């Protein structure tokens, strides 16, 4: 069986698993391309992202699950680990990826990242600095962006 066919089977299984039960995440996929999904995640309660709905594009490689899918925020967000292009700085999407990880586990990690940013390894340095130096102002800006964009 080809690597691409194995990837398609795994992707199909994960899609069925996530849509056949109550999931914290809303998942859709491109009807013409099994390798493109969209997820909607809610901003975690008790954070400046609470009340927001964030759209994330997910693109799988033909080598999935041996390479991480690409997760990209489509909804603008003010966060030290997510840049203006929607790229996410998260170790499991880079060097800590392993085949047992699933889309649902990554979305859970992204939700955790929203609740607990890592300003010491920021993708956007100035937002990381603000988080560390003036958390009140950081939270205020993050809340404003959530209200405006999410």
Is 112 designated active site? no
Q: β-pairing, 53-59 with 26-30?
A: unpaired
The 3-state DSSP class for residue 89 equals: coil
The Cα 123–Cα 71 span in angstroms is 15
From the candidates 77, 89, 114, 124, give the one annotated as an active-site residue.
89
Counting beta carbons within 10 angstroms of the beta carbon of residue 5, is it exposed (0 to 12), middle (13 to 18) or buried (19 or more)? Answer: exposed
Contact 117, 80 (CB under 8 A): yes
The gap from C-alpha 28 to its chain's centroid, in whole angstroms, comes to 14
For residue 56, give both structure tokens.
């994330």
The gap from C-alpha 137 to its chain's centroid, in whole angstroms, comes to 24
Bridge partners, 72 (sequence order): 57
Q: Active-site positions?
A: 89
């Amino acid at each position: 069986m080809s690597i691409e066919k194995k990837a398609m089977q795994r992707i199909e299984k994960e899609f069925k698993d996530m849509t056949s039960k109550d999931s914290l995440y809303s998942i859709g996929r491109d009807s013409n391309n099994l390798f493109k999904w969209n997820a909607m995640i809610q901003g975690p309660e008790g954070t400046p992202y609470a009340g927001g709905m964030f759209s994330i594009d997910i693109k799988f490689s033909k080598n999935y699950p041996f390479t991480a899918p690409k997760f990209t925020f489509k909804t603008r967000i003010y966060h030290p680990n997510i840049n203006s292009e929607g790229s996410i700085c998260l170790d499991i999407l880079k060097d800590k990826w392993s085949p047992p990880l699933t889309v649902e586990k990554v979305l859970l990690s992204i939700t955790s990242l929203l609740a607990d940013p890592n300003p010491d390894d920021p993708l956007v340095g100035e937002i990381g600095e603000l988080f560390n130096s003036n958390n009140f102002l950081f939270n205020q800006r993050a809340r404003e962006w959530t209200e405006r964009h999410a």
